[in-house]
Amino acid sequence: MSPQPNGVHVNGGGLAPSTAGAPSRVTLSLGHLPSKKDIKAPWPRTPPGLTPTTLHGRPAYRGYHEYSFAHATMQSRLPTILGKAIEDTTRTLNEQSSEEKVVDLVACIERMGDLMIDLSENHKLRPIIDDDEADVALWNKEIAKYFQGKDFMNAPWLFAEAYKYRRLHECFSVSKFWKDYDVFYRQKCDTFSRSAEAVFELSMRFAEPFKISDNLSPEDKLEFERNMFKRTHPKQIKSLQSTGGDHLAATEKNILGNHLSELWESVKEVRSKTGGRVDFVLDNAGFELYCDCVYADFLLQSGLATQIRFHGKRFAWFVSDVTRKDWEWLLNTMVYGQLFPKATDVELESLRRLGQRWKQYEKEGKWVYEQHPFWCTGYTFWELHSEAPDLFLHLSHSDLVFFKGDLNHRKLTYDCAAPASTPFDVAIGPMASSAGAPKVVSLRTIKSDVVVGLGDQGDEIAEKLDKEEPGWKISGKYAVVLLSEGRPGEKVRFA
Who has greater pLDDT, 12 or 177? 177
Residue 270: per-residue pLDDT? 85
From the number of C-beta atoms within 10 Å of its C-beta (0-12, 13-18, 19+), residue 344 rates as exposed
Compute the average pLDDT of residues 342-351.
96
| pLDDT bucket at 232, cuts 50 / 70 / 90 | confident
Residue 21 and residue 125 share a domain: no
Whether pTM exceeds 0.85: yes
Question: Range of 29's domain?
Answer: 1-39
Residue 314: per-residue pLDDT? 96
Residue 381 and residue 272 share a domain: yes
List pLDDT tens digits, range 274-329: 669 999 999 999 999 999 999 999 999 999 999 999 999 999 999 999 999 999 99
Residue 495: per-residue pLDDT? 77
Q: Which of 30-44, 122-136, 392-406 has the lowest mean pLDDT?
A: 30-44
Query: Which residue, 132, 159, 181, sits at the end of a domain?
Result: 181
Using the predicted structure, report yes or no on whether residue 28 has a pLDDT greater than 90: no
Compute the average pLDDT of residues 199-215.
90
Compute the average pLDDT of residues 74-99.
96
Taking alpha carbons only, the member of 79, 66, 183, 61 closest to residue 123 is: 79
Residue 321 and residue 197 share a domain: yes
Using the predicted structure, report yes or no on whether residue 29 has a pLDDT greater than 60: no
The H-or-E segment that residue 144 falls in is helix 136-146
Residue 72 and residue 21 share a domain: no
Compute the average pLDDT of residues 478-495.
95
Residue 258 and residue 159 share a domain: no
Residue 222 and residue 289 share a domain: yes
List pLDDT tens digits, range 182-205: 999 999 999 999 999 999 999 999
7-30 burial code (b ≥16 CB/10 A, e <16): bebeeeeeeeebeeeeeeeeeeee
Which CATH number fits the domain that encloses residue 156?
Answer: 1.20.930.60
Residue 218 and residue 323 share a domain: yes
Residue 207 and residue 169 share a domain: no
Compute the average pLDDT of residues 402-430.
95
Residue 56: per-residue pLDDT? 61
Q: Where are the alpha helices (DSSP H) in 209-344?
A: 218-231, 234-237, 260-271, 287-301, 324-336
Mean pLDDT score of the chain: 87
Residue 212: per-residue pLDDT? 83
| pLDDT bucket at 383, cuts 50 / 70 / 90 | very high
d(CA 254, CA 236): 11
Residue 211: per-residue pLDDT? 82
